[in-house]
Structure 1
Amino acid sequence: MPRPYSGKVHVSQSRIKRKSGITYVYERTTHYDQKTRKTVTSASKLIGKILPGSADVVPTRPRKSNGLGAAQAVAIRRHVGLTDILEWAGRGSLIDQDVRSSFSHGDADKILSIARYWLGTDGNTLPRLESWQVMHDLPYSYGISEDVYGELFKSLGCNEDGIQRYFLARASRLSRKPVIAYDSTTISTYSQNQKEARRGFNKDRDGLDTIKLLTLYSVKDREPIAFAKQPGNIPDVIALDNAIEQLNCFDIEKPLVTTDTGYYSHDNIRDMCRRNMKFLTLIDTDVIMARDTVETLRDKLESMSAVCPFDYAVSGASLSVMHTFTWQRQRRRAEKQAGDEEVMQRRLYFHVFKSNDLVSKHEVSFRQRLMELKRQVEEGVAEFTEAAQKRIDRYLVQSRVGRGGNLHVTFNEEECAGARKYFGYFVLVSNSAMDVFEALENYRLREKIEELFKNEKESVDGRRPRLWYPDALRGRQFVQFVALCYRCYITKKIKAVEEQLGTDGENKTKEQLKLEKGLKNWLEQRSLAQIFDWFDCVETTSVKTDAGTRRWTTESVARDRLFLKLLGVTESCSN
């Protein structure tokens, strides 16, 4: 039988060494919370400091007199509007629970505190965190200095067990049969100590070495699941195998994996079919299979019955084919020998779409790409990617003319004209049967992962890693990942609030409808950072005197109270 709850309060000391060499001594009061089954810090007080080279504790100076004489007062003022929203988000999304179940108590509180700081300040740098803590209550009640978060990042980077536990916990909360987007972005760095920083395709086009960040994202749940980092020179097309292995670790029921053209290859499709992994991927119209399908369905796409019901600029049609895959065995098993040819047939579904809006975009992109390749060839660039070299061989004609043998580069007009026949078309291929426009909708949902990458770089200080070592970078990226989980949950809830505002209801009065429409207009005109700034001005002042404790909070207008009520931060609201 468990021991009976005693309600005893424990008082202990903790010592935190700062970068200056001074060690601060805190008196910490804790008790056991029966509801959460965790040890909770109820009070923390600085009682002294130990100077460098000394072992003696120098007591802190007594508080200045406030002029009240015998009637002493203790007053505390805190910004609570923003922190209440972040506390609600961590509790409602179960992010706090998953972090605390994956890491030790102290590390979990630090992770949540830094994640909330990044989100609440729209990605401010960490040296400002300690001063921000003075007026904002966070799960970690002690000061988070540069030494504290530096040690945290290093320990997290080596704690792969805790990171994978958190990924598993978040994956277990997804809806049934989720659609999983898989994509990558690049993080530029000046550091020479980051071993993964290599010269590769830089999506920011700033000329720096990059580290590749790969992310799994549930597009219907609008929530990131997991991430990994790789050297910046690894092509996307060979990075899919590890993602499939990682997905197999999660207890997800028949996920549909959606990818972009960067991950398409015949080998990747074959491997996903062999593993019975459902996929939906965009393939380039330069691929022979795609062009053959476009030619088969070209006339059908011109009919009115092919018009998309939710996007009239797009028409679509589907075609299913039995495709034969062949490969060579890598290992010997039973009667089969290594090197033997294996054959497998699988049904593939091709969804072909024609968009009138894409014709001009494809034309401009095609011209820009060829003109850039022509310039590079003329300048004598010797090394190209495999894809770029194929375009050069197909669309450019190189010759040596004149006595000096000068290089002359022209365009293969016949091949260029053949390529233009497919401008405005795009093709999705899948091994899962679905309606043509359901496939289009699932693919378009993956655009949310691009928003995630943008938010990671702009809103959680992820554009430039300022760390010396790779393990510390992984730890920092994990805390950024937790901050993105917060952001996705809050954004999703605010979107749900917007959708229910201004709709006629049986019990809604004219005043309520007017208030809701005003709130909807206000939300549509503000970003998440602006909403956070708005509520950060809400303060609570608490004054404890001999006569008792008095507490008051900044007044708020009816619109703000309605928003907090509908969001779920407060239980009741009065107009």
Structure 2
Amino acid sequence: MSLVYLKNKKNGVTYVYESVGYWDKEKKQTRNHRKCIGKLDPQTGELIPSKKYAETIQKLLTHKKRGPVPSVIYQRQFYGATYLFDAIGTKLGITEDLERCFPESYKQLLSLAYYLVLEDRNPMSRFPRWAKTHVHPYGRNLPSQRSSDLFSSITENAKHHFFLLQNKRRIREEFLAYDTTSISSYSKTLKQVKYGKNKDHEPLPQINLALLYGETSGLPVAYRKLPGNIADVKTIRHLLADMDFLKQKKIKLVMDRGFYSEKNINAFFQDHVKFLIGVRTSLKFVRKHLDDVRQSLITRSHYHSGCGLYYESFLTDWDYTEVKKRSGETVKDKKRLYLHLYYNDQKATDDKTAFNKLLDSLEEELQSGRRNPDHEKLYTRYYEWKETPVRGLSLTPKTEAIAKAEKDFGYFALISNGIKDPIEAVEIYRTKDMIEKAFGNLKERLNMRRTSVSSEENLEGKLFVQFLALFYLSYIKKAMSDHGLFKKYTLQELLDEMDIIEQYRQPGGHTHIGELTKKQIDLYRLLGVEPPTMV
């Protein structure tokens, strides 16, 4: 026996039928007997029983005969993946912390987060359909109006309290990877939607999202929303101020070179923040050391097989400057700084390929007359040209300028005030890739490439739910990576393997699940979760 949902196209009402299968001897095939037992409430998604069906249930419930009540409804819902999320939420303390911060709505928040993880790129409007077929914390439908009210109810205080509680559970000595991404928006009412440097190269206004990620745990720590026209390099001071609420005594940050500036490095020293940051090889103090070792760097004695890199390190001085707030006095000092230089053969090849593609595009733009205003400096840097009525445009590459650019292909540099080992530094820096993957998860799988909400409150709420979903995605992906599961499964294939496990429910409250395969049991354990019991 099962339930069938059919929507009447004329009146829009979804009717619920009790379907019982039987064998038709004449036609020699399975057939079904269907009996209407009611309709779905359009707001809650719950069954409104018909008068006859309600009377039948009442008679069964008041029956005086001893023994078990006969089964009338036999529900079947998908259970395996949401059980996995429940176990992860318990293990990481997400469920407990959410309940403390959002006692009235934490189950709804969890259900929405589960939906975002399981239903790749689907909008929130599809949640009611998913909720009918899955076991989930809230256990009921959440109509679009209710979800909007839920998003609006998420306060800044409750959100930051959740960040703080989660941070207390994490490893305190880990580096925090920090980066930003742009999220395009069609909304004209959001205050922070501005035109800026769109990292997805879309001609739309945007907001920027800054994210902190744990280098050891592989889990998100916190996020903040920024105006779309704020450059990366300008966000550091606000980041340091905002991180006070995490109550972390020793802050250690790892960032790419887009965040480098003398002002930011001085700020890190001033606030006693340990940092590891990428820098351009064109900086004077970097180039000085690089030119000194360029010939000796690419030798066997400087090669590390594990990382596939040539390396060299220097202990140097940073010219520290601080302006006292009260007196306006300028204080200058020398601070210890580690400079790590690296060379990678594959990077050199990739850099050269990318550079030649750039030159190809510059030549095509010049010859076609479709010049890009953003490329004017590049035209002048790498080309000379003459134009005559007969021969048209004649381009001459500037050989010295091109050779100067090619000179640094394959090299990159890191600076730190705390990590003196160059191999340790590059290994920590490479974990920053996690944050790039996190942005990919947010934009692609969690459907955040473009925001369509029209109010600040709804945007804040939706971002928070997507941030919650990122915990589960990050945990699962790290476990899959640690145990080599990506060799056998994509993320979606693994979730599908879990999701097909069903839970069966009878009216008296009795539940049991279907049989688990050995493959499913092994997957649960590799993901750090005990399989559900088949009782």
Residue in structure 2 matched with residue 530 of structure 1 by the alignment: 493
Residue in structure 2 matched with residue 199 of structure 1 by the alignment: 195
Residue in structure 2 matched with residue 418 of structure 1 by the alignment: 404
Residue in structure 1 matched with residue 335 of structure 2 by the alignment: 346
Query: How is 1:153-192 mapped onto 2 (pairs within 5 angstroms)?
Result: 153-156=151-154, 159-192=155-188
Partner AA of 2:132 in structure 1: V
Report the Cα offset of residue 396 of structure 1.
4.2
Residue in structure 2 matched with residue 149 of structure 1 by the alignment: 147
Distance 1:300 1:195, change over 3 A: same
Report the Cα offset of residue 354 of structure 1.
0.7
Q: Please say if 1:240 is aligned against 2:236.
A: yes
Distance in 1 between the 2:225 and 2:386 partners? Answer: 45
State the SS of the aligned residue for 1:323. strand
In structure 1, runs of 5+ residues without a counterpart are: 1-19, 23-45, 52-57, 500-519
The answer (yes or no) to whether the contact 2:338–2:416 under 8 Å persists in 1 is: yes
Distance 1:344 1:145, change over 3 A: same
Report the Cα offset of residue 219 of structure 1.
1.7
Report the Cα offset of residue 218 of structure 1.
0.8
Report the Cα offset of residue 364 of structure 1.
2.6
Partner AA of 2:514 in structure 1: T
Partner AA of 1:344 in structure 2: D
Residue in structure 2 matched with residue 471 of structure 1 by the alignment: 457
Distance 1:382 1:565, change over 3 A: closer
Distance in 1 between the 2:464 and 2:306 partners? Answer: 38
Report the Cα offset of residue 199 of structure 1.
2.2
Provide the aligned length of Structure 1 versus Structure 2. 483
Residue in structure 2 matched with residue 140 of structure 1 by the alignment: 138
Partner AA of 1:363 in structure 2: K
Distance in 1 between the 2:395 and 2:51 partners? Answer: 79
Distance in 1 between the 2:157 and 2:350 partners? Answer: 46
Distance 1:59 1:132, change over 3 A: closer
Q: Please say if 1:78 is aligned against 2:74.
A: no
Q: 1:286 aligns with which of 282, 286, 295?
A: 282
Partner AA of 1:434 in structure 2: K
State the SS of the aligned residue for 1:299. helix
Distance in 2 between the 1:377 and 1:278 partners? Answer: 46
Distance 1:342 1:557, change over 3 A: same
State the SS of the aligned residue for 2:401. helix
Distance in 2 between the 1:274 and 1:482 partners? Answer: 33
Residue in structure 2 matched with residue 41 of structure 1 by the alignment: none
Residue in structure 2 matched with residue 539 of structure 1 by the alignment: 502
Report the Cα offset of residue 193 of structure 1.
2.4
Distance in 2 between the 1:440 and 1:252 partners? Answer: 24
Partner AA of 2:321 in structure 1: T
Partner AA of 1:539 in structure 2: E
Q: Please say if 1:317 is aligned against 2:306.
A: no
Query: How is 1:308-387 mapped onto 2 (pairs within 5 angstroms)?
Result: 308-312=304-308, 314-326=309-321, 329=323, 331-333=325-327, 338=328, 340-369=329-358, 372=361, 384=374
Mean CA deviation greater in 70-79 or 342-351: 70-79
Query: How is 1:553-564 mapped onto 2 (pairs within 5 angstroms)?
Result: 553-564=513-524
Q: 1:570 aligns with which of 521, 530, 534?
A: 530
Distance 1:572 1:380, change over 3 A: closer
The answer (yes or no) to whether the contact 2:314–2:340 under 8 Å persists in 1 is: yes
Residue in structure 2 matched with residue 453 of structure 1 by the alignment: 439
Report the Cα offset of residue 556 of structure 1.
2.3
Query: How is 1:418-437 mapped onto 2 (pairs within 5 angstroms)?
Result: 418-437=404-423
Distance in 2 between the 1:342 and 1:397 partners? Answer: 45
State the SS of the aligned residue for 1:193. coil
Residue in structure 2 matched with residue 130 of structure 1 by the alignment: 128
Partner AA of 2:351 in structure 1: H
Report the Cα offset of residue 50 of structure 1.
12
For each residue in 1:88-121, what CA deviation from the matched residue of structure 2 results, as whole angstroms up to 9, or x when unmatched?
A: 1111111111111122x22212111100111122
Residue in structure 1 matched with residue 53 of structure 2 by the alignment: 63
The answer (yes or no) to whether the contact 2:114–2:469 under 8 Å persists in 1 is: yes
Mean CA deviation greater in 555-564 or 168-177: 555-564
The answer (yes or no) to whether the contact 2:324–2:331 under 8 Å persists in 1 is: no
Distance 1:354 1:485, change over 3 A: same
Report the Cα offset of residue 319 of structure 1.
0.6
Distance 1:243 1:410, change over 3 A: farther
Distance in 2 between the 1:565 and 1:573 partners? Answer: 13
Distance in 1 between the 2:213 and 2:288 partners? Answer: 32
The answer (yes or no) to whether the contact 1:194–1:468 under 8 Å persists in 2 is: yes
Partner AA of 2:269 in structure 1: C
Q: 1:266 aligns with which of 258, 262, 266?
A: 262
Distance in 2 between the 1:381 and 1:213 partners? Answer: 32
Residue in structure 2 matched with residue 29 of structure 1 by the alignment: none
State the SS of the aligned residue for 1:342. strand
TM-score, normalised on structure 1?
0.76
Q: Percent identity?
A: 27
Report the Cα offset of residue 309 of structure 1.
3.6
Partner AA of 1:553 in structure 2: I
Mean CA deviation greater in 456-465 or 486-495: 486-495
Distance 1:402 1:294, change over 3 A: same
Distance 1:290 1:410, change over 3 A: farther
Partner AA of 1:533 in structure 2: D
Distance in 2 between the 1:418 and 1:346 partners? Answer: 31
The answer (yes or no) to whether the contact 2:160–2:245 under 8 Å persists in 1 is: no
Residue in structure 1 matched with residue 246 of structure 2 by the alignment: 250
Distance in 1 between the 2:240 and 2:532 partners? Answer: 46
For each residue in 1:438-476, what CA deviation from the matched residue of structure 2 results, as whole angstroms up to 9, or x when unmatched?
A: 111011111111111111112212122121123311210
State the SS of the aligned residue for 2:53. coil
The answer (yes or no) to whether the contact 1:84–1:569 under 8 Å persists in 2 is: no
Distance in 1 between the 2:275 and 2:447 partners? Answer: 33
Partner AA of 1:97 in structure 2: E
Report the Cα offset of residue 550 of structure 1.
6.1
Report the Cα offset of residue 146 of structure 1.
0.3
Report the Cα offset of residue 243 of structure 1.
1.5
The answer (yes or no) to whether the contact 2:384–2:398 under 8 Å persists in 1 is: no
State the SS of the aligned residue for 2:206. strand
The answer (yes or no) to whether the contact 1:178–1:254 under 8 Å persists in 2 is: no
Report the Cα offset of residue 568 of structure 1.
4.6
Distance 1:98 1:418, change over 3 A: same
Distance in 2 between the 1:490 and 1:330 partners? Answer: 47
Report the Cα offset of residue 332 of structure 1.
3.4
Distance in 1 between the 2:181 and 2:240 partners? Answer: 18
State the SS of the aligned residue for 2:105. helix
The answer (yes or no) to whether the contact 2:340–2:414 under 8 Å persists in 1 is: yes
